[in-house]
Structure 1
């Protein structure tokens, strides 16, 4: 797997153990396993390997050989509009780059960021942690609304208000996710508890199908349903005075250098989301 002979690999391990001053592996009849010291060294070694790969990518970019992979995760509303525009802009300038996109809610994105499966996470603004931090100069807003099919009965109700939605069937992302908490905050601001949630799912396809085909209400940011709105499939439920803005931002790991391909995407995101002065 490493394209070296077994004796050469054994000598390399022995040199490393001599440098560390302790055994890194326990050797037994069924093979080898890491010692406690080996387990402690492993994440540092993996980090050094990743940083070496990033350094090669950076040097290649300076030589005009920009290659590498942009690994980014985003919540659905960003993956629907802002991220595709940013990716298109980056690839127009650096066509040799590849892009891997993960869509998910914040808990999944944060976990993937810590596991180095992605290098940037795009989501609702949340407090920084010891491991993850927001990128302060890449921040923008969008607006969320109650959405319903065009033939939903509430559209014909006079003096429609948010309280009228409480006894309807709702489908939303799961509790603990950013959209759920945002919706909960908006209802609380109007002096209301949450409606009875009939369906919780992380699948945007399922949410849209329940709204379109089964008469459910849902809570969505505008980029998530602009295509459905333009096609006359479903749209915002016109509740006077309901304006629910939220802040979105990019996140990175605190430790380590942001890889050059990710920096290129970040620069494009900054341009797209910059507030005109």
Structure 2
């Protein structure tokens, strides 16, 4: 495409929004409904965009449309462009009224149980009119939301980053995972347990293809012990908690969860190599809005208290660890 098209107004922001909406909904009809326009308007704008780019973006089928290989590349850049524009608007709004603003935080299992609630409480005390939105999703979906600007920062377990998107990670604290059971579990009548005996109990385990699942299995492999026979895979903290509290299942949870839940009791068998570094992930090439910067300060304040409590209660935790 001739770059002069960017100056003469042929390629417009609505084209980027249009392509993203069609890809999200997989249908021109549903995209039109979402944008409150008619189907012919969407179809005409899509034809304009494909003519400007000189390639087809979507393949039409009986059940809707699917992105072409050209669309996959275009959509990645479209998310970044729309995200930058959204953030620019938010930044300007906050500068116009310094007492207000909004920030959207993405989170998943780690970080959502203690760090984020404490940070939000601290933030609201200091800036009560700031609107905080929390979005929970899988790490890969949150990464896409970061790029698109739907999420300002992500709180959770830090993992090695893949792909070309420049991300900045800030480690806040490191904590071990602990084995937990219900208070009346039979194993507490058997003295200090060993890993070989624990494998005979039913377990709620992290889902496959996760770092935590790999660390758990490696702990057994180092002792040359086969993993537990009876397993249930689960990523829902509430489901895990209920299963452990009401049955004889065992599970591994972050130390901050294990030590603060009255329905769970920690098994006296530390898994020293099973842990997580909790922190913040942000886009490296995007300037944080004042509200985002304020949320980051709140997270650092909350993390300082968690580091202190971990230091007092377990020998495994250390601040500033790398993922």
Residue number in structure 2 paired with 1:170: 203
RMSD, aligned α-carbons: 4.1
Residue number in structure 2 paired with 1:125: 158
* Aligned residue among 212, 219, 239 for 2:252: 219
The 5-angstrom pairing of residues 46-125 of structure 1 reads: 46-63=79-96, 64-75=98-109, 77-104=110-137, 108-115=138-145, 116=148, 117-125=150-158
Pick closer, same or farther for the CA change 1:185–1:38 going to 2, 3 Å.
Answer: closer
* Aligned residue among 188, 200, 216 for 1:155: 188
Pick closer, same or farther for the CA change 1:138–1:58 going to 2, 3 Å.
Answer: farther
The 5-angstrom pairing of residues 1-277 of structure 1 reads: 39=71, 43-63=76-96, 64-75=98-109, 77-104=110-137, 108-115=138-145, 116=148, 117-131=150-164, 135-229=168-262, 233-239=263-269, 242-243=271-272, 244-254=274-284, 256-274=286-304
Cα distance in 2 for partners of 1:188, 1:133 equals: 35
Pick closer, same or farther for the CA change 1:35–1:210 going to 2, 3 Å.
Answer: closer
**What per-residue deviation string (whole Å, max 9, x for no partner) do you get for residues 34-56 of structure 1?**
99899465554453332122122
Cα distance in 2 for partners of 1:167, 1:54 equals: 52
- Which structure ranks higher in relative contact order (CA pairs < 8 Å, sequence separation ≥ 6)? 1
Cα distance in 1 for partners of 2:210, 2:49 equals: 44
CA offset at residue 85 of structure 1? 0.8
Instruction: Name stretches of at least 5 consecutive residues in structure 2 with no aligned partner.
Output: 1-31, 59-64, 309-318
CA offset at residue 137 of structure 1? 3.7
Cα distance in 2 for partners of 1:48, 1:135 equals: 19
TM-score, normalised on structure 1? 0.74
Q: Quick check: 1:125–1:134 contact (8 Å CA) kept in 2? A: no
CA offset at residue 224 of structure 1? 2.4
Residue number in structure 2 paired with 1:30: none
